[in-house]
Amino acid sequence: MATTEVVLVGVDGSKESLDAASWATARALRTGARIHLMCTYAVASYSAAALDAGYTVIDDDALRRGAQQVVDEAMEYVRERGAQHVSSSVEAGDPAGILVEMSREVDLIVVGSRGRGGFADRLLGTVSASLPAHAHCPVVVVPRHTSGKKFTPIERIVVGVDGSEAVSVALKHSVAEAAVWDARLTAVSAVPLASGGTMMSWLPTAVDRRALLDDIRQSLSQAVDAACDGKDMKVARHVLDGSPASLLIEFSTAVDLIVVGTRGRGGFAGVLLGSTSQTVLHHSTCPVMIVPSRMKNHEPVHPGTVWERR
């Protein structure tokens, strides 16, 4: 019996969270998924010593009413854009913790990012990359659209590949996502440049480097073939010199979706759990799909530099 995909969208009343809802709606219209809109709120806790006037009374009902208004407006927004299967809820608590728990029950989470503040930034700021690192389903972060082509429909997808098991899962999801949008898919492996004290500086000659690149190309091709699993899909394959973060950010100016995995062995996957995680997610000019290794054991339900989108 077929199951209906459920897409959870975090909304906070900002334009960016509505953009995330719009992205999710465009996808749901292709997959028949149900959209669930969620707004979280937290009641601040203050000690008497921290306040000149003593304790402050926080009106929990007022906060909940405000959150309910946010999801009601988001509900109207997505229905105006054609969404039919929509539900909503208001939850009290930490946004990241709630979404991580909800990720056990849904197939995809979509949040918006403003670069400063906003729903996604609470996830990527104070709690770093906790949602991408601990979610049990893929997470899409939709950045602020400032120029160029709209984020949907998706025509071009790039997936970062480093050979790890987690990234193999991400590669499978990128193949499925390309099928959803009838998009062109490109798989890319990043190889750090050999200079000075970099990890590649041990290579003795250019011949060794060429041999290494040939091995990586072969591994990339095998990984793509395994992910396609006999599907009639053309996937471009590239092995490129450079840092994963820089390549991802540059690619984001020309494509519509970046797909990466977490808990890999360096490369693209390592970016999301290392020091550059916020750089990639905050500076990508197109949406980023993060596919964690802590996933439910099932296949996808559905078949310094300022960058500008081209």
Q: Which residue type is seen at 258? A: I
Range among 120-124, 161-165, 171-175, 215-219 with highest mean pLDDT value:
171-175
Beta bridge pairs of residue 205: none
Q: Please tell me the predicted confidence (pLDDT) of residue 87.
A: 96
* CB 132, CB 277: distance < 8 Å: yes
Question: Do residue 181 and residue 252 come from a single domain?
Answer: yes
Question: Do residue 51 and residue 2 come from a single domain?
Answer: yes
67-125 pLDDT, tens digit per residue, is 999 999 999 999 999 999 999 999 988 887 888 899 999 999 998 886 445 555 555 44
Task: CATH number of the domain at 97, please.
Answer: 3.40.50.620
199-234 pLDDT, tens digit per residue, is 444 445 555 777 778 888 888 888 899 889 888 889
DSSP letters spanning 245-287: HHHHHHHTTT-SEEEEESS-SSHHHHHTTSTTHHHHHHH-SS-
Q: State the pLDDT confidence band at 173, using cuts at 50, 70 and 90.
A: very high
CB-count exposure of residue 296 (10 Å: 0-12, 13-18, 19+): exposed
Question: Do residue 131 and residue 156 come from a single domain?
Answer: no
Question: Do residue 163 and residue 290 come from a single domain?
Answer: yes
Q: Please tell me the predicted confidence (pLDDT) of residue 278.
A: 61
- Domain housing 122: 1-144
Q: Please tell me the predicted confidence (pLDDT) of residue 268.
A: 55
Q: Please tell me the predicted confidence (pLDDT) of residue 94.
A: 82
Q: Please tell me the predicted confidence (pLDDT) of residue 61.
A: 81
Look up the pTM and report it. 0.82
Question: Do residue 189 and residue 298 come from a single domain?
Answer: yes
Q: ∠ CA(176), CA(181), CA(187), 5° rounding?
A: 55
Angle, in degrees to the nearest 10, between helices 206-228 and 165-181: 60
* CB 166, CB 293: distance < 8 Å: yes
